[in-house]
Structure 1
Amino acid sequence: MPVPAYDPSAPEDLTILPVGAPATVRAYAGTLLRRHRWTFVTLIAVNTVAVVASMAGPWLLGGVVDDLADGARDIQLGRVLSLFTLALVVQAVFTQQVRMRGAVLGEQVLADLREDFLVRSVALPPGVLERAGTGDLLSRITTDIDRLADAMRKAVPQLAIAAVWTALLLGALAITAPPLALAVLLALPVLVPGCRWYFRRAPGAYRAEAAGYAAVAAALAETVDAGRTVEAHRLGARRVAFSERRIGEWTAWENRTMWLRTVLFPVINLGNMLILGGVLLLGGFFVLPGWIGVGQLTTGALLAQMLLEPVGLILRWYDELQVAQVSLARLVGVQEIEPDRGEDGPTPAGDLVRADEVHFGYHEGVDVLHDLSLEVPPGTRVALVGPSGAGKSTLGRLLAGIYGPRSGEVTLGGAELSRMRAEAIRRHVALVNQEHHVFVGTLRDNLLLARQDAGESELWAALRAVDAEEWVSALDEGLDSRVGSGGLSVTPAQAQQIALARLVLADPHTLVLDEATSLLDPRAARHLERSLGRVLDGRTVVAIAHRLHTAHDADVIAVVEDGRISELGSHDALVASGGPYAALWNSWHGRKDEPEEPAPRRG
């Protein structure tokens, strides 16, 4: 497979959520360093002692060689061996401390990364999460965190250790045998151009590789989640081809990053050979005229040999840090998403919900809703009906404050929803759709998510309101039964009832119901809607009606076609007018298979 050329724009083509800019990444790295500065300072101090102890051997051996070269016969080998043993013990003890403290620092930083990302992700605006989907977000919290794990546990501590190690060895080499320090310069013409070539290309390639993997995860997750739809519409071959294309793009970038490393590593090895070879050649040249002693050459050669390891560590872990930097930028990127709610948003002066000349689209230049206006007085039940793809669910999300309009206004009590904090909106307006999540834990915990201070009787009353009391009472542990992974596996219909029970507990004055009973069979759905009707009496309800008996029961019916409201009125008036709603009603009523007639309309 041919390796793609580096294209700076390519990574962003596959990215859904933003990737942090270099300034943002540096600022966050500085924040982490300040949080753990004393642990970092301690690591550097302990490492300094270990490095200084490691240089005792070359210094002692150089002294012995100098003494022998001068013809000395009273060399105190016992003292030399004692000092060397003491240095080894000190080096071993402090090296163990270096590794332990480096691992502790890495785990602390990694824990901060996970916590900061999770907290920020939970606080993202709902509209951003809906647009992004789960693939990109999950790849960041899993794959990117995994890639950062090695960097935080090893790369960051090892780079700090290697930097101190290199500086001390160069200083010792300059003090012990200043001419030999020039040998380091021999490797620069190879190391500097080679590393610059690599590090100019590596970040973009790693960024594209990470984005490509996220695209693969998203494609596979979407296919699995919509497996029945894919099978029903015979889209299997198309989805397989799409997934293979995503995998091909990802593996192509994987091949490119591997190819870049095949250039970097030989450059590093050549640099190491030049440093050691330069010390020996220059040392021999300087020893002959007596400019330096044989002992100095011995010490210098040993120090140069020791220098190869930290230089190799720096280049190796700096390469790993390129991968980590991309993953860190992807994690930090969520911090660049501006909240679409002000910190001190407007306060509603009432419960009137209104959309005024709204235009909205998911993509630039393509609107789903066009110049749409709708007013929902407090306590009114409005049904949104119309063909699939007309914009009913989109309008429902705008009325619930999930999205903000491109132009026009959506207000609650005169307060513009797009300027209110998401938490404030949820106290007034709730959206319930067919996608319901049951968290791992007890049923009680799942219900208390809606209201932490709800009592036992209130929990059972909420379950009773959604016809869930019977099956919950039949459980051995009742409300304390565990659900989710490792516990009771609830059916989709039961998960829907749990979500609706949360809605009853949350007690908002305005509800947007989008297929809220779609996972129940028609008879059970009708019974549940009647039960909820009693609970929700007096509240404002905007129901996206797919079963038209819901529209029959509403006070006002809005027919949405092509992103516009084409009809607005009561059931009787719209049927009598003979327009689009009458056609929908007659078509649906003619093939209706429910045994009971629609209940009389409220009021």
Structure 2
Amino acid sequence: MIGVEPPEYDPAAPRHVTTLPVGSPATVRGYVGELARRHKGAFALLVSVNTVAVVASMVGPYLLGGLVEDLAAGRRDLHLGRTMALFAVALAVQTVFVREVRLRGAVLGERMLADLREDFLVRSVGLPPGVLERAGTGDLLSRITTDIDRLSNAMREAVPQLAIAVVWSGLLLGALTATSPPLALAVLVAVPVLLAGCRWYFRRAPQGYRSEAAGYAAVSAVLAESVDAGRTIEAHRLGDRREELSRTRIRQWVEWERYTMWLRSVLFPVINVTYMLILASVLLIGGTLVLHGRVSVGELTTGALYAQMLVDPINLILRWYDELQVAQVSLARLVGVREVEQGAWDERLAPDGRDVHADEVRFGYRAGSDVLHGVSLRVRPGTRLALVGPSGAGKSTLGRLLAGIYSPRAGEVTLGGAQLARMPAERVREHVALVNQEHHVFVGTLRDNLLLARAGAGDGELWAALAAVDADGWARGLDDGLGTEVGSGGTALTPAQAQQVALARLVLADPHTLVLDEATSLLDPRAARHLERSLARVLDGRTVVAIAHRLHTAHDADLIAVVEDGRISELGSHHQLVEADGAYAALWRSWHG
């Protein structure tokens, strides 16, 4: 039983498949302690109610032991009426308080689960945007859905039931010791078998469940990526390769599922043997002591019943502790967002001016592989800067650094002399915003979608923001105006309208610096031209950094930076760079044919 796992239970599922960390044991313990402190009153009440229920349940064995003792002593007056009355009262008390135990346990579990969900959501929303971008959708979705689901059962039942079982077993052992200390020692005969089996299991279970969860996250990631990029996969005939990758990830995940199931198939027989050993040792040792006059028949009867009652709390402890092994992994994945490097943020740090300055910036998505190599750039207030260059040169990466989405590996990016990396994300968003092709219409009213940018704005300000981006015409044509339900299940907005809503949010947020990553490139030409007119109104008077995938954007800019191989190779106006006859001039000629 305590052997090495067979080779077939040594699957090679990935253990680290995301950029989001899994919480360390110290982080998990700290969060569990925090939850316990928040709900210490409810825990105390649960333990108190459970104590009454357990004490009431022990009255029956005590009364039966007394009857057996009286019969063994040859007494005729057994007071059966009084005994039955006491038993009935104890049963009634037990019934009432068991119901209270279940009710209090369920309420406590729901409150802790609600706290966990809220804590995870608040912490996730506060993560640096770059971390969320690199993490992708697969891992985030598996944490929000699968891990929360796995924790739901643990929070609702496992934690309260485990607390109940610990109190229950402690009281039974105390009662057994008070009844007859030798019988309490007899229970210890089963302890070595139980400890050996549990030690074997719990040394293997955490890693197995952790790998199982990581394997499921890998399955979610590859399936989500395949769905999102379905047209690209079809166009490049990558279907067979993606199917093979999906099958590999599913096979690895299934292997870990089989492995954890095999662990349980070893643990459960050990538990059953423990149950039999507890009762057998009490009866055999207790019977021997009765024959030698060391223990009375009544004490043996009561002790045997208490020992039999120990089966239920031990079963609860082992059952829910096993459940908590699964839940612990999910909890570690959820609280792991607490270990994301937040940087040395200074809440008091604020920009003194609007100059954007990158100084010897280096950045890479992977260790040892930089995308940007010592880039320096200064953008004066009100300047329209265009970043141009071949695909993969680092334009979008530099734009995200200037927007505060990413933090540089070396060097610094400052706004008004203040390092963006040291400013809280919310503070950065007050001054700098990134506008790209991606837009999202949230489920709710049009008003709710706009108020995300400025919660206290009145309807007049919302209409003014829509008018600023030429969106008030179609918005007033909606059935309920600002109160119209949009998003999934509501009124469907066209891509151009959704982008106008995003621009209206920008008007409300009123950042002085914008980083544009071809916000209109995914729209059809007519919608793009219409939206560009709306965008021009938003840009008026602001500092603009435009990542130019199409050179007509660069033509109208005040300053153009040519990015090649992660470096700025040229810097100047359109006419200056064309006259210089360098890389930009070559791009311009090729674009114009």
TM class, shorter-chain normalised?
over 0.9
Are residues 467 and 546 of structure 1, via their aligned partners in 2, closer, same or farther at CA, if it must alter by over 3 Å? farther
Counterpart check, 1:118 vs 2:121 = yes
Structure 2 length-normalised TM: 0.96
Q: What SS is found at the alignment partner of 1:362?
A: coil
Are residues 318 and 6 of structure 1, via their aligned partners in 2, closer, same or farther at CA, if it must alter by over 3 Å? farther
Partner of 2:3: none
Partner of 1:440: 443
1:81-480 alignment, distance < 5 Å: 81-340=84-343, 342-344=345-347, 346-480=349-483
Q: What SS is found at the alignment partner of 1:133?
A: helix
Residue 116 of structure 1 aligns with an amino acid whose one-letter code is: D
Q: Which whole-Å CA distance do the structure 2 matches of 1:530 and 1:145 have between them? A: 45
Counterpart check, 1:583 vs 2:586 = yes
| Unaligned residue ranges in structure 1 (runs of 5+) | 591-603
Deviations 1:268-287 (A, max 9, x none): 00011000111111122122
Are residues 79 and 21 of structure 1, via their aligned partners in 2, closer, same or farther at CA, if it must alter by over 3 Å? same
Deviation at 1:266, TM superposition (A): 0.6
Partner of 2:556: 553
Deviation at 1:575, TM superposition (A): 2.6
Do the aligned residues in 2 keep the contact of 1:125 with 1:339 (CA within 8 Å)? yes
Do the aligned residues in 2 keep the contact of 1:2 with 1:252 (CA within 8 Å)? no
Q: What SS is found at the alignment partner of 1:566?
A: strand
Partner of 1:596: none
Q: Which whole-Å CA distance do the structure 1 matches of 2:83 and 2:377 have between them? A: 92
Deviation at 1:160, TM superposition (A): 0.9
Deviations 1:331-353 (A, max 9, x none): 11111223235133532221111
Partner of 2:83: 80
Partner of 2:503: 500
Residue 174 of structure 1 aligns with an amino acid whose one-letter code is: T
Deviation at 1:423, TM superposition (A): 1.3
Deviation at 1:529, TM superposition (A): 2.0
Q: Which whole-Å CA distance do the structure 1 matches of 2:237 and 2:350 have between them? A: 50
Q: Which whole-Å CA distance do the structure 1 matches of 2:585 and 2:35 have between them? A: 63
Deviation at 1:171, TM superposition (A): 1.2
Q: What SS is found at the alignment partner of 2:310?
A: helix
Which stretch shifts more, 488-497 or 380-389? 488-497
Do the aligned residues in 2 keep the contact of 1:6 with 1:201 (CA within 8 Å)? no
Deviation at 1:531, TM superposition (A): 3.5
Do the aligned residues in 2 keep the contact of 1:410 with 1:416 (CA within 8 Å)? yes
Q: What SS is found at the alignment partner of 2:378?
A: strand
Q: Which whole-Å CA distance do the structure 2 matches of 1:362 and 1:481 have between them? A: 41
Deviation at 1:524, TM superposition (A): 2.9
Do the aligned residues in 2 keep the contact of 1:206 with 1:323 (CA within 8 Å)? yes
Q: Which whole-Å CA distance do the structure 2 matches of 1:142 and 1:547 have between them? A: 40
Are residues 548 and 467 of structure 1, via their aligned partners in 2, closer, same or farther at CA, if it must alter by over 3 Å? farther
Deviations 1:495-519 (A, max 9, x none): 2221111112211111000121123
Q: What SS is found at the alignment partner of 2:247?
A: helix
Deviation at 1:323, TM superposition (A): 0.8
Deviation at 1:322, TM superposition (A): 0.8
1:508-527 alignment, distance < 5 Å: 508-527=511-530
| Unaligned residue ranges in structure 2 (runs of 5+) | 1-5
Q: Which whole-Å CA distance do the structure 1 matches of 2:500 and 2:231 have between them? A: 23
Deviation at 1:6, TM superposition (A): 8.5
Do the aligned residues in 2 keep the contact of 1:283 with 1:297 (CA within 8 Å)? yes
Q: What SS is found at the alignment partner of 2:540?
A: coil
Deviation at 1:14, TM superposition (A): 2.2
Q: What SS is found at the alignment partner of 1:14?
A: coil
Deviations 1:176-227 (A, max 9, x none): 1222222211112211111111111111111111111112112111221222
Give the superposed CA RMSD.
Answer: 1.7
Counterpart check, 1:540 vs 2:546 = no
Deviation at 1:3, TM superposition (A): 4.2
Partner of 1:597: none
Residue 246 of structure 1 aligns with an amino acid whose one-letter code is: R
Do the aligned residues in 2 keep the contact of 1:11 with 1:207 (CA within 8 Å)? no
